[in-house]
Structure 1
Amino acid sequence: MSVSLWCEETEEAHGQVEEVDHDYEDRSPGKGQARGSAQLRAPWDPTVSGHRVIQRLLQMEERYMPSNLYIALMQRDPERREELTKWSLEVCCDRGCDEAVFPLSVSLMDRFLSASLSLPVSPYCLTAACILIASKLTECENITADTLCAAAEYSFLPSNLREMERVILATLRWDTAAVTPQDFLPHLVATVDERKDGDTDSQEPLSALRRHSDTLVAMCVCDSGFLGVPPSLIAAASMNSALRGLSTQGPSVLAHMSERLAELCQTDPVVLQCYSEMIESVLRQRLRNGLQGTPMGKDEEMDENERAGTPTDMRDIDF
């Protein structure tokens, strides 16, 4: 029997899920509309988290970094990349994709461009193909080719999208399960929760911490200034900034959590603090850009030295 590895799936509708097993959690897209039938996800398993898993991810993340030449080129002229990443984020949010789809799709795009050092005829077709591959890897019901073509206002055909998908897979030698900041976040959240010494009165809900961290990670993925920064450091710095923005605890407790995050990611606490401040600076700037044109009184103006807030909804940030 002949077996082909090429992606030759059809656009036929999948069967509908009749019943939901209550042993699993419903996947509820945070933004946009849910696609198709009910989607299920296994609950978080604490036995596959912790220091051992983080160490394994740290060993693998260097393998999926773009080249230094590509990083230098993109940081010299970031507009085109940021245009494509912003469109990718809009598509993922509008279509209710899993939060892991967007950073993985951008990682695939960066690695492909790092290998080719040239944009294809249709850059949006490349971006859509990366979203399609990332969706297949992370979601039970992946986004369809027709949906991506519609999102791009039919600037390319489904056949063009599938051909681009094959080119990406061949270029990356089918090594598509890249390590992204989203892979570190659940382990870092679980570890921070364990280190709070039972002070439940001052603990912020973990769901809010994860939400804010996801938002900051998405902002870093869009910003070419963070190209070349290891995913572990982006995840840790985003969570550190989220803790600073959410927590009502004292500086000593926050400093202890920062040291713990730096230890887990095998980086210096000063480096972690530097990137946390960089994230907060970028966040303030993008929030300020988003508020331009809105009348503000003197009492509502943002103080330059004020600690950056972390909005729950990505739409609050001008990406």
Structure 2
Amino acid sequence: MELLCHEHVDLDSSSEVKSRPLRAFRDAVLTQDSRVRQNLLSSERPNIIKPGTEQTDVLPYMRRILTGWMLQVCEDQKCEEEVFPLAVHYLDRYMSQNPVRKCHLQLLGTVCMFLASKLRESVPLSAAKLCVYTDHAVTVPEILDWEVLVVSRLNWDLASVLPSDFLELLLQALPLKAQNHAAVRRHAHSYIALSATELKFSLFTPSAVACSCVTAAVVRLNIQKDTFTADGLLQLLRNILDLDMTSLRECLSALDETIDLTLPSPAELQGQDVPL
């Protein structure tokens, strides 16, 4: 058996090789294997399964501010797309079971990014670097102490399934032209990150969020508009993963509302030349 790992390498001076890690080609053996799909579905869970603790000191708008800051940090550090959603997953799981004081909220968010980068980033974020982003309101010893606290409260269960884990399975199953995959993937990742900033999406499963984000990306890019309606495309994705259609429609509706309130449309972006 011959095992190969093909990578794109651009040695041009303008290349982003130094700032972004090289990634291997996507493996069709994995994306087309039904066992992979079943393992993901059996392992996934919403960020908040059953709220066990009502936060009295932390209000909903504070979470939105915190996750917005976390997203900025991950984008500034050019983290992998999965780091931010995983950090928010840890944040919601912890806060659904443990009371958090307002003065510890940024520390908790920092620790969640610290942990998520260790699992999903090829070069993890350092504690010292994260302290700089807090304007040294958080110290390295605090991050290390809370790291132990958070992982123990999460029962050391850190290998969580994310919406982005379903992306390739869904993209390969859609009747899309090869040249459209990159645009749909990029928009879907943006919508996944956006959904992580809103608490209401923490009640949906990662697969439901993934289907909604892919549907929104295809519809808003005007791809397959003559072939599928939004509901028809959602039904196709539902059949791939065997999900509850009612939940998918609720998730997509919430996502469309959030996108309209938060992000400009692709047509507006073309006129302004601003990336999503």
**TM-score bucket (shorter structure):** 0.7 to 0.9
Output the amino acid matched with 1:221. Answer: A
Match of 1:54 in 2: 37
Output the amino acid matched with 1:98. Answer: E
Unaligned runs of 5+ in 1: 1-20, 28-33, 289-307
Q: How many residues align?
A: 262
Secondary structure of the 2:212 match is helix
Secondary structure of the 2:215 match is helix
Q: Partners of 1:35 and 1:153 in 2: how far apart?
A: 29
Output the amino acid matched with 2:42. Answer: Q
Deviations, residues 181-219 of structure 1 (Å, cap 9, x unaligned): 111112211221xx45xxx4xx76100000100111111
Structure 2 CA distance for partners of 1:163 and 1:120, relative to 1, 3 Å? farther
Q: Partners of 1:216 and 1:142 in 2: how far apart?
A: 24
How far apart are residue 81 of structure 1 and its match? 1.1
Secondary structure of the 1:89 match is helix
Deviations, residues 11-69 of structure 1 (Å, cap 9, x unaligned): xxxxxxxxxx9832469xxxxxx79776333321111123331221111113x642432
Q: Which has the larger radius of gyration?
A: 1
Matches within 5 A, 1:205-216: 205-216=180-191
Q: Partners of 2:43 and 2:119 in 1: how far apart?
A: 17
The percent identity for this pair of structures is 26
Match of 1:262 in 2: 238
Which of 120, 132, 137 lines up with 1:138 in the alignment? 120
Structure 2 CA distance for partners of 1:190 and 1:176, relative to 1, 3 Å? same
Match of 1:169 in 2: 151
Secondary structure of the 1:136 match is helix
Match of 1:253 in 2: 228
Secondary structure of the 2:44 match is helix
Output the amino acid matched with 2:193. Answer: A
Say whether residues 1:91 and 2:73 are aligned partners: yes
Unaligned runs of 5+ in 2: 11-15
Q: Partners of 1:35 and 1:187 in 2: how far apart?
A: 27
Structure 2 CA distance for partners of 1:204 and 1:39, relative to 1, 3 Å? closer
Match of 2:163 in 1: 181
Q: TM-score, normalised by structure 2?
A: 0.83
Match of 2:248 in 1: 272
1:113–1:119 CA contact under 8 A, matched in 2: no
Match of 1:119 in 2: 101
1:84–1:127 CA contact under 8 A, matched in 2: yes
Q: Partners of 2:196 and 2:53 in 1: how far apart?
A: 13
Q: Partners of 1:158 and 1:213 in 2: how far apart?
A: 34
Which of 283, 295, 302 lines up with 2:259 in the alignment? 283
Q: TM-score, normalised by structure 1?
A: 0.72
Q: Partners of 2:201 and 2:249 in 1: how far apart?
A: 15
Which of 208, 218, 238 lines up with 1:243 in the alignment? 218
Deviations, residues 255-302 of structure 1 (Å, cap 9, x unaligned): 5432221112322445423422321121111247xxxxxxxxxxxxxx
How far apart are residue 231 of structure 1 and its match? 0.8
Q: Partners of 2:122 and 2:223 in 1: how far apart?
A: 38
Output the amino acid matched with 1:286. Answer: T
Structure 2 CA distance for partners of 1:189 and 1:114, relative to 1, 3 Å? same
Which of 18, 22, 31 lines up with 1:40 in the alignment? 22
Structure 2 CA distance for partners of 1:71 and 1:94, relative to 1, 3 Å? farther
Q: Partners of 1:276 and 1:72 in 2: how far apart?
A: 27
Match of 2:13 in 1: none
Structure 2 CA distance for partners of 1:73 and 1:162, relative to 1, 3 Å? closer
